[in-house]
Structures are given as structure tokens and as C-alpha cells.
Amino acid sequence: MGPLRGAQRSVIFHSRLAFRSSFQRMTLPLVASRLASSVAPKLKDPSLLKTGVCYVDGEWVKAASGKTFNVYDPATGALIGASPEFTGKDTEKAISAAAAAFPSFRTKTGREKAKLLRRWYDLVVENADDLAKLITWENGKPFADAKGEVNYAASFFEWFSEEAPRLYGDSIPATVPGNRVLTIKQPVGVCGLITPWNFPAAMVTRKLGPALAAGCTVVVKTPGEAPFTALALAELAHRAGIPKGVVNFVTTLEHTPEVGETLATHPTVRKVSFTGSTVVGRLLMKQASPTLKILSMELGGNAPFIVFDDANVDAAVAGAVASKFRSSGQTCVCANRIYVQKGIYDEFAAKFAEQVKRFKVGHGFDEGITHGPLIHNRAISKVEAHVRDAEQKGAKIILGGQKLPDLGANFFQPTVITGMTKDMAMAGEETFGPVAGLFPFTTEKEVVDLANSAEVGLAGYFFSQDLERITRVAEALEVGMVGVNTGIISDTASPFGGVKQSGFGREGSKYGIDEYVNIKTITLGGMNKPLQS
């Protein structure tokens, strides 16, 4: 996914839309109230912005070729800076550094690793404002959201600093007289971590925290669209005293497939953790198969969000707004198919649209902005295609539905569409944008069947006040995570991951560290001799 381009200028845009059925005419203030600043944000610590270099073996280095790629502000199209265009050969040097660091790092005690992670956590918290500025600058999300992401990102270092000393094994009663069976947990080795652009801090720390707590060393492939947040984290790792070679950060844009293949095929890399699309996940699995790597993958989603007649409608509206429009709809657990039972469909749609109408779209650094741009022009094209497809097949756009060229090339109106049906593209594809399609349904079985019809199964949500229904539906949904009467499910303490073609493995929680360890069984024989006199 490439960076957005586009100029931005001051505009107040009012879209007057015919609101059919029982709905009233509404306007949508899709606005930026003033000209978005084209001036680069000022960091308290400018040395956190690392341009032209990657972090390998404890040093800041350039690509062997000297080539770089440009990174642009998705809101304004302005150049932020350049990062090294690493190749597979460059990445191999990072893998070698991680391999050289592993024998020493793996022997550190849990408490020693905990102290390193805690120092890294403290530095992230101390520099939270600058990290948030980098996120908004290269990702586009509003500054308030970016600050929330930094706190979330830091929490994984804190959580796994507490898990590091607690890699407990077991003593297992053996069936053979005189034998004793023990298990210990050992780090898997060098890990390749491939992270996405939509959470350029949190998706890095969610993988790094457990890897280091387990005693692994890593090579992080940062997203080409948003590399500078991850590189700032690398600088803070250096300051925290993380030993050289333990963490290595590489950047690339043009050679992304080559670098990914290097991590997936290199025999020294024992595990790959990937967050991204299902298509790329399948490719990495194929590439990793000859070396039988351990894999964990958090892939695409198409989350159902179900509102039953017995739900608290106002709470359901708030939950749907939070789930659907977080980061302008660019999260893997966003509500993508909103199913509303017919008895409350009109009421829900009217209240939902009223909430969305209050959004303020613009540059993430501007005061009061609730939603920023999409990440690149391909994202805009997909969102528009989904809207036009629904419109052509009989759905009604009751709010939004258009690009916002006066704000910039990568802005799209927060959109609400009613009368959705299962033959529309949005029913089967992840939109990854600020478009909410509302599907009517009649029965519980009908909606669960519709929800489970997707080939993916990452997250699902539903609102109901019927306790029996809550149990039935939560267990019936074919997803890895279920939010009941809430639209937000991300929590450091909660295991994150999916089923079906949304991948496998879990991140965060007490289970997250298990993805980075092997269980070794030790059988002790001859333990039944009598006591010596």
C-alpha cells in the first residue's frame, strides 16, 4: 500500500442528501475549518526522526545501494523524508546480526529481560507526544487517536516485561516408574516481524514485546508507507540499552516482496509473525514451508456487527460508530457489515447517521478533527467502488458517499448506506474505509448464517440484552474475537487473533508469549532408587 498524495485547502463542505423512507433531510459537515498546516510538526526531540537510515546491529546504516524511497504526508502530499530501500541482501545482514546476538540474549534471566523492556516502556511514555506526532504525520490519523495508539503500544512493553519472569514449565507425573517428566520453555530463535501501516507503533510493540520477553532476537520489516514511527522506537530501544543485534529494523518500499521472501525463506529465521492481507499471508506461508517456520498471522477481516431488536439502541449506535469509524475505518477489526434487525432498523439508521453527521474531517493536526485521510489513492478507489456498487444495486446513500477533493486527494466523506443486500461487494469484501453499510435481517439464525458466510473470521460484534441469546450467538459466530455490547475489543490483556482465513496465533495477553517459545520435554530416569542409608 503506497502513500497518499494530494494538496489540501480550506473548505466548508455541506452535502445535502435526499433522505428517503422515514428519514429526514440531513446535512453532513465534512469539513476542515481552516487550512491544514503544511509545516512539519515540531518534535521536542528532533533526533527521533530517522531519515535515510535503518537500525541494524546497534548501528544506523544505509542501504548498500544508497537508494532511498520517499514518504509523504497522506493528508497534504508533502514530503516527510526518505528511508533506505533495503533489498534481500541488506536484510540478510540484519538476520546475521540477530543470529549473532541470540546465544547471549537467550541466556538472560527473565528479570533481566523484564528490566530492559521496562526501560523501553518508560522511554516510550516519556516521548509519547513526539511518537504521536510521527504517527499523525505519516499515517494521517487525528492527533488524539495517535496519542491513544502510543499508550496502547507502550502497554505491550509493560505487559510483557511482567510476563518475562513467568515463563513457567511443568512437572508432569510419568507413567513409567522411576521417571520424572519436566518441561521448560525456550525461545524459538531469530524472528522476522512484518508490520502494517495502520498502527505503526502498536503493531510493532505487540510483536516485539513477547519476542524479547521470550528471549528471541528480531528483524522488524517496517511498513513502507509509515516507517518513521518504528524507527523512532528503534532509537528508544538503543537508549534503553537493548543489546546490539537483538532488535533490527529494516525499511523498503519497492523491494517489499523481496524482503518479505528473504524473511520467509532464510534458514536462520525460525519464526515469522505477519499482520496484513490474507493474500500476502498465503504467499508467506508458501515461502516459509520448505524451512517449516513457526508462523503467526493476523490477516484480513470482514467483521459482522449485529444489532438485535432487544438491544439498547443508543448503546448499539455508539458501539457501531466507534467500531466502524475508528481510524477512518482502516482497522482490521472494523465493523464491515452492520446487520440490524428489522424492528429497530429505521430508528438505528437515523440515530447512527445523526452521530456520523457530527464528524469533522481534515488534517490530523488541526483542532477538533475527528477523522483524517485514507492512506493512499488505492484505498480511496476501493472505498468509492464499494459505494458505487451498492448504489447501483439499489442501496440508498443517506449520508456522504463522495470524495473530498477540496480537502485533498485522499479524503472521503464518512458514509452511511441503507438497504444493503448480500449480493453487494461490501458484503463479501473488506472495505477498509469510512463507509457503513446497514443490512436488515429478520431472525437470529438468518443473521448468524450471514455473519459466518465470510471466508475470514477475525472479529465480530453484537448488541443484545437477552442473556441466553448472548451465550448462543457468541459461541456460534465463527470469529476469533467477539465484542458483546461493545464496539471496542482491543486490550493488552486480551488475546488478539482470528480463525478461518483471518489467520492463526494470538498476540497480546498471557498467550502472546507462547508464540515465541518452544516447549522442551526433559525426562529423568532412574529416580526410583531407595534412599541411601
Please identify every residue annotated as catalytic.
Answer: 298, 332
Cell of 134: 510521527
The answer to whether 290 and 266 have CB atoms below 8 angstroms apart is no
CB atoms within 10 A of CB 195: 28
d(C-alpha 282, C-alpha 285), whole Å: 5
d(C-alpha 481, C-alpha 495), whole Å: 8
Residue holding cell 525499511?
A: 251
Burial of 52 (0-12, 13-18, 19+ CB in 10 A): middle
The answer to whether 499 and 477 have CB atoms below 8 angstroms apart is no
- The closest alpha carbon to 28, from 363, 319, 370, belongs to 370
The answer to whether 273 and 191 have CB atoms below 8 angstroms apart is yes
Largest CA distance in the chain: 96
CB atoms within 10 A of CB 430: 22
Q: How far is CA 164 from CA 240, 483, 489, in A?
A: 17, 29, 24
